[in-house]
């Protein structure tokens, strides 16, 4: 499923850039999602292959809400992870010897149960984690807005590509290993070269 997500991310990125060029982003995304859901449902009816609705309908509407509920249900009465299994785990005492997605998945899905930043934040620090990670995400979005050059599709593509991972991964992991930090570095370099070439 993870490999299919990367394919979907590329398609979505191209669609976003196309719509941005025509100033129809919000309406275009709504229409695109609606048409995609309808076509994937029809493909399942005709072919009987569940892969078509699972890629779009399942991932878009059901998988992540379900996984985030599993995270809440699993950790509500258990010790929180406190980032011990994350990329900054060396700062904290190891609470669990198993990665959180594997821990939750073994309880509910028999596979890795990746969750978006809400579920991961709750697993790490409970409600306090949701508050702090939400503030951190707001700051991250503010910085990304500063790095995007107005009406320049390449700067949008650089930032958005890394941000896709937030729908399926915790914030710290997305920043450190899923491309957000690297995309910010690229966007900073591109913005500097853009201003040097076109502004000066």
pLDDT digits (tens, 9 = 90+) for 73-98: 999 888 888 877 666 655 666 677 78
pLDDT number for residue 112: 82
pLDDT number for residue 190: 80
Listed range (81-85, 136-140, 169-173, 195-199) with the worst mean pLDDT: 195-199
pLDDT number for residue 132: 92
Q: What angle do CA 69, 13, 36 make, to 5 degrees?
A: 65
pLDDT number for residue 135: 93
Average pLDDT over residues 172-180: 82
Half-sphere exposure for 81 (CA within 13 Å, toward CB): 29
pLDDT number for residue 131: 93
Please provide the average confidence, as pLDDT, over all residues in the chain.
Answer: 78
- pLDDT bin (cut points 50, 70, 90) of residue 150 is low
Which domain range does residue 171 map to?
2-199
Structure tokens at 47: 């072919």
- Check whether 2 has a pLDDT greater than 50: no
Number of structural domains (the chain) is 1
Average pLDDT over residues 128-135: 91
pLDDT number for residue 139: 92
In eight-state DSSP terms, residue 99 is: -
């Amino acid at each position: 499923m993870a490999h299919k997500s990367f394919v979907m991310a590329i398609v979505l990125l191209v669609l976003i850039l196309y719509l941005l060029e025509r100033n129809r982003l919000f309406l275009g995304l709504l229409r695109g999602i609606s048409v995609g859901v309808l076509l994937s449902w029809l493909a399942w009816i005709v072919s009987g292959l569940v892969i078509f609705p699972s890629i779009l309908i399942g991932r878009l509407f059901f998988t992540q809400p379900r996984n985030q509920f599993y995270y809440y249900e699993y950790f509500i009465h258990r010790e929180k992870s406190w980032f011990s299994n994350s990329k900054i785990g060396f700062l904290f005492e190891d609470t669990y010897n198993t990665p959180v997605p594997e821990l939750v998945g073994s309880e509910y899905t028999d596979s890795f149960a990746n969750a978006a930043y809400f579920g991961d934040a709750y697993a790490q620090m409970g409600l306090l984690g949701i508050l702090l990670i939400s503030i951190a995400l707001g700051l991250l979005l503010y910085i990304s807005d500063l790095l995007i050059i107005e009406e320049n599709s390449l700067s949008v593509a650089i930032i958005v590509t890394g941000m896709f991972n937030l729908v399926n991964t915790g914030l710290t992991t997305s920043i450190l290993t899923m491309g957000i930090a690297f995309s910010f570095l690229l966007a900073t370099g591109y913005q500097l070269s853009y201003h040097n070439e076109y502004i000066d």
